[in-house]
Structures are given as C-alpha cells and as structure tokens.
Amino acid sequence: MKKIILLGYMGCGKSTIAQKLSKATNIPYLDLDKCIEEKANLTINEIFELHGEIYFRKLEHEIFLELLQSSDDTVIGLGGGTPCYANNHEFLKGEGVISVYLKASIDTLYNRLIHNKSKRPLIANMEEQEMREFIAKHLFDRSFYYNHALHKVVVDNKTVEKTVSDILEILA
C-alpha cells in the first residue's frame, strides 16, 4: 500500500493538486475534510458550530488513521490543521507514506484565502488586516509540524500543472 499525503496551510492548493495528481498517477484521491463531512453528515462549518473544534480534531484524527490503515493506494489531501493535532505529524514518515508539504508564502495564502474564507471556520469572520496577521502567526506556529513531511514543494507563483510535475518528479 502506498499513501501519497499532501499537507499544508489552508489555501495552499491541497485539494486541487491532489485531484490532478490522482489523475496523473491513476491513484484514487480522498479529501480528509470530505471524509469527515460524510462521516458526520455535517459540513465542516456545522461541525465547528455544533460540536466545537476539539470534537472536530478528534474526528479528524480517527478518520485520518482509518484512511492510513486501509489497504488501498491513495492520494490523500489533509486539512490544513491535520498534522498539528493528536500527534498526526508522526504518521507523515510512516511505512508506505510519501508526504509532501505544499509550502506557500503568507502573501500567496492571504491572496487566495481572502476570496475563499466562508467555508473555513477559523478565518470566516475575520477582517482583512486581522486575517493577514492571523495567517502569519498561525503559519509560523504550524511550520514545525508541516516540516515533518518527507518532501517540500514550494507552490508560490507556480501553475497547478508545474506543482504536479514537481511532485511527480519526487515520486519517480
């Protein structure tokens, strides 16, 4: 079994790149957030609203382990916070796991997230300046966990196709 795991901050492109990578490699793709939503029968926003973040992190951990334990080859797109809770980062170097940190600058993340925050409960209600400062600090705090990935690909100023081809090189 082979698990190709894509991780990185919200807005770094995990889902888009995982889908394209899945097509290019012919390995099925799963999005951890979508798996959580299906299991809970609620959206991520609803889980945060109704049950709180701690409940979400517990569910995220359980479903992440389930995906890792399945016998299928899979491309897995994590949630932005997945590696940062419940010791999930320890699985990024596990047997059969190829983990790739999609590294984006604060500017790249801010410019993408400013138009795409409504489905992300951690930033949904933030004003622009507050969000920029939040991203900067949060990314700094989370980098320790993201850097446990086996590989790192910088995504700034790259097309999705270029990022996918960089990952394919790593996999070759």
Q: How far is the CB of 1 from ligand S3P (least distance, A)?
A: 24
Whole-angstrom Cα distance, residue 8 to residue 77? 9
**From its phi and psi, is residue 86 left (phi > 0), alpha (psi between -120 and 50) or beta?**
left
Query: Which residue from 44, 75, 131, 164 is in contact with ligand S3P, where contact means CB under 6 A?
Result: 44
Residues facing residue 6 across a β-bridge: 77, 100
Q: What is Dmax (Cα atoms) for the chain?
A: 45
149 binds ligand S3P (CB under 6 A): no
33 binds ligand S3P (CB under 6 A): yes
| Binding range to ligand S3P, per CB under 6 A, among 22-30, 78-86, 93-101, 150-158 | 78-86
Q: Closer CB to ligand S3P, residue 32 or residue 164?
A: 32
80 binds ligand S3P (CB under 6 A): yes
10 binds ligand S3P (CB under 6 A): yes
CA 35 to chain CA centroid, nearest Å: 13
Q: Which long-range contacts (CB under 8 A, 24 or more apart) does 168-171 make?
A: 168/21, 168/24, 168/25, 170/98, 170/100, 171/4, 171/25, 171/98
| Binding range to ligand S3P, per CB under 6 A, among 66-74, 102-110, 115-123, 149-157 | 115-123
| Binding range to ligand S3P, per CB under 6 A, among 76-84, 89-97, 103-111, 162-170 | 76-84
Query: Which residue from 120, 131, 158, 163 is in contact with ligand S3P, where contact means CB under 6 A?
Result: 120
Burial of residue 73 (CB within 10 Å: 0-12, 13-18, 19+) is: middle
Contacts to ligand S3P by CB under 6 A: 10, 14, 33, 44, 79-81, 120-122
